[in-house]
């Protein structure tokens, strides 16, 4: 029974019967240093975009300051942010990637 133990998994199981889980936008932020080609590679590698889609989002971030890469459940979004940040730092780029609740 869902009320027997008030731990996270049981609370989650009860909640999902009432409302869908919250989704989070994964957002890339512009900076003056990360190469455009690197950002295109990030969008292709971690967000399954083709080169045309990736280039469009990269240019949107470059001109508008930010752009949405995708919308995911919390754990998936958090993993994307970690993977992008680790890949950028490993290549010594300051690229910023954040998540925000929809």
Query: With contacts defined by CB under 6 A, how many residues of the chain interact with ligand TYC?
Result: 13
Q: Would you say the C-alpha torsion 10, 11, 12, 13 has a positive or negative sign?
A: positive
User: Closest separation between CB of residue 62 and ligand TYC, Å?
Assistant: 4
**Contact of 93 with 55, CB cutoff 8 Å:** no
Piece of 13-21, 22-30, 48-56, 70-78 that binds ligand TYC (CB under 6 A):
22-30
User: Closest separation between CB of residue 19 and ligand TYC, Å?
Assistant: 33
x/- track of binding to ligand TYC for residues 25-64 (CB under 6 A): ---xxxxx-xxx--x------------------x--xx--
């Amino acid at each position: 029974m869902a009320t027997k133990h008030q731990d996270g998994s049981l609370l989650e199981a009860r909640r999902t019967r009432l409302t869908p889980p919250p989704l989070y936008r994964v957002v890339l932020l512009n900076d003056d240093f990360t190469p455009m080609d690197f950002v295109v590679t990030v969008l292709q590698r971690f967000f399954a975009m083709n080169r045309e889609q990736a280039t469009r989002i990269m240019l949107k971030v470059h001109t508008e300051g930010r752009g949405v890469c995708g919308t995911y459940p919390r754990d998936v979004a958090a993993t994307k942010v970690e993977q992008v940040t680790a890949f950028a730092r490993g290549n010594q780029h300051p690229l910023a990637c954040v998540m925000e609740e929809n």
